[in-house]
């Protein structure tokens, strides 16, 4: 919208268009199943239901994460980097400038593979272990502490090892406003057990019902950079 100057005693005649559009979002079920035989449960010293439950929870978390990552390449309004380009501090700052020039609503975040972000530290004065500071207060520390790297130009930077690396060692991360996408939960995480007496086993399943969606393509930047493994000998 555009605000205008007014004259005392003169009625306002211009009206602003809300410009609202709507998106229909539909969630979908995701799940997995493990069969634990009675013999396996008896033979193990650990509580196998707890061990398997933890592994199933990790699998569901990875699934949700990769679903969100799948949105990154769909940001077609703006792009940054290219195949083979290294993610230096200069290239990261240039990517952030896209958001600032196009007035992305705050907060804005940047996510990429750890091997790509390694080069930001290698080729700049940013040393994450020394300068990352505290995670910004609006973020969930329990969920994001292990993935937080640092802040550059008011943009919080995260690493995510679930980003796919192609055969040329390139990966697609993203710079995006929180308003660019949505995560919709119908069932967050639900575990169930069912006995199969003839099999002498217990089926353990977990399921979720959710969806991840792009809301505004103009508030995201697909960022393609080199994610090759750094040398440990040179």
Mean pLDDT across the chain: 90
- Reading the block at residue 205, the tokens are 């399943």
Label the pairing between strands 78-81 and 220-226: parallel
Do the domain assignments include residue 108? yes
- Reading the block at residue 54, the tokens are 């933890």
Which of 187, 158, 161 shows the shortest CA–CA distance to 174?
A: 158
Which residues, other chains included, contact 5 with Cβ-Cβ below 8 Å and sequence gap of 6+? Answer: none
Do the domain assignments include residue 38? yes
State the Cα–Cα distance between residues 117 and 89, nearest whole angstrom: 9
181: containing domain: 28-225
Do the domain assignments include residue 23? no
Do the domain assignments include residue 183? yes
Do the domain assignments include residue 16? no
Do the domain assignments include residue 201? yes
Task: Please state the pTM of the whole predicted model.
Answer: 0.84
- Reading the block at residue 88, the tokens are 């230096």
The structure tokens 């937080």 sit at: 148
- Summarised one tens digit per residue, pLDDT across range 33-86 is 999 999 988 888 788 888 999 999 999 999 999 999 999 999 999 999 999 999
Do the domain assignments include residue 4? no
Position with higher pLDDT, 163 vs 17: 163
pLDDT-derived band at 234 (thresholds 50, 70, 90) equals confident
- Summarised one tens digit per residue, pLDDT across range 83-94 is 999 999 999 999
- Reading the block at residue 137, the tokens are 């207060």
Count of domains for the chain: 1
Do the domain assignments include residue 196? yes
């Amino acid at each position: 919208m555009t605000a205008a100057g007014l004259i005392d005693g003169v009625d306002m005649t211009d009206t602003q268009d809300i410009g609202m559009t709507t998106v229909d979002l539909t969630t979908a079920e995701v799940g997995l199943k493990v069969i634990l035989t009675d013999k396996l449960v008896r033979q193990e010293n650990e509580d196998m239901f707890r061990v398997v439950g933890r592994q199933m929870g990790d699998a569901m978390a990875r699934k949700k994460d990769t679903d969100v990552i799948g949105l990154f390449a769909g940001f077609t309004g703006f792009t940054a980097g290219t195949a083979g380009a290294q993610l230096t501090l200069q290239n990261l700052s240039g990517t952030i400038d896209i958001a600032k020039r196009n007035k992305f609503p705050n907060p804005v975040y940047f996510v990429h593979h750890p091997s790509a972000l390694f080069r930001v530290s290698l080729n700049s004065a940013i040393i994450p272990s020394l300068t990352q500071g505290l995670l910004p207060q609006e973020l969930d520390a329990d969920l994001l502490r292990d993935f937080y790297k640092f802040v550059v130009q008011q943009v919080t930077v995260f690493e995510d090892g679930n980003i796919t690396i192609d055969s040329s060692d390139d990966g697609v991360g993203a710079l995006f406003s929180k308003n660019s996408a949505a995560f919709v939960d119908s069932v967050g995480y639900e575990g169930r057990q069912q006995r199969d007496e003839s099999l002498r086993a217990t089926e353990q399943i977990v399921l979720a019902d959710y969806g991840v969606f792009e809301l505004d393509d103009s508030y995201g930047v697909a960022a393609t950079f080199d994610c090759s493994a750094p040398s440990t000998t040179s």
